[in-house]
Chains A and B, each alone.
Chain A
Amino acid sequence: MKTKFKFRSIASVGCVLFFLLLAVATGSDDKDSKAPTKTEKKATKPVSEPDIEKEPEEPQYEEPIEIYNSSEDENASDDEEEVITITNASDDDEL
């Protein structure tokens, strides 16, 4: 009876150690890489465009200049007015 109990105790301890070893063996070797290997919900950083490629919006330093084409006033009706808007003169040719 005592022998059986001893054998069972040793076998139980061996079982515990085996499964603990299994838990250690299935751990990550590299701590940093564990983040992306978990479920998709654990994604730490969403994919986004790199900031370098984004160009900051240029502020408009000049107000748009609206030029009414007066030469065509006789042909155009009163409701129709051709408006030429110049904004942010970046192209000198247009001016």
Chain B
Amino acid sequence: MRRVVTTLSYLLAGVIIVIGGLIYICYRPLNLLMFAWSKKLECYEWLIFIREMASLSIPNWVIYALPDGLWTCSYIIFVGAIWNFDLYTCWTIAMIIPTIGIISELLQGIHMVSGYFDWYDLLAYFLGGTVGLSYIYIINKYIKRNENKI
């Protein structure tokens, strides 16, 4: 049971990363580092091909804030799956990326880091972290209940 849930959690986290990555590939400008790196890795044409297929008009918060929240949630799910969904053990590691994200966003607000402060980014980090931690907590409860039944 635990193995199935762990495998599914890894898959879920991977899908979330891919969704966030597709939003970046399809809708973000081409001056991002990832596009420069893709040229060196000779997969730039593939990214442009995917980009040309994107035709939906989506709100700005989906383009600029949602991927950050998705990746935060995905990171926490990965860490939770690694540590058997034991929140007591892994919460410090799970909070590393959300904390870095929130601090960097606040530093952008006081111009100590290059970039622009955006409330939506802050909200995305917070919600992504909350959803991820809630997922670990719920899965842990679910696994323990099933193990007690056996």
Contact = CB atoms under 8 A, between A and B. Distances in A.
Nearest to A40: B60
Contacts, number: 68
A5 to B, nearest CB: 10
Contacts of B36: 29
The prevalent SS among residues of B at the interface is helix
Interface stretch (A9-17, A57-65, A72-80, A81-89): A9-17
The prevalent SS among residues of A at the interface is helix
Interface of A: 8, 11-12, 15-16, 19-20, 22-31, 33-35, 37-40, 42
Interface of B: 17, 24, 28-29, 31-37, 60-61, 64, 67, 71, 75, 78-79, 82-83, 90, 93, 96-97, 100-101, 114-116, 118, 120
27 contacts: A12-B82, A12-B83, A15-B79, A16-B75, A16-B96, A16-B97, A19-B75, A20-B100, A23-B101, A24-B33, A25-B34, A25-B37, A26-B34, A26-B67, A27-B32, A28-B33, A29-B32, A29-B36, A31-B114, A33-B29, A37-B28, A37-B29, A38-B64, A38-B116, A38-B118, A39-B61, A42-B118
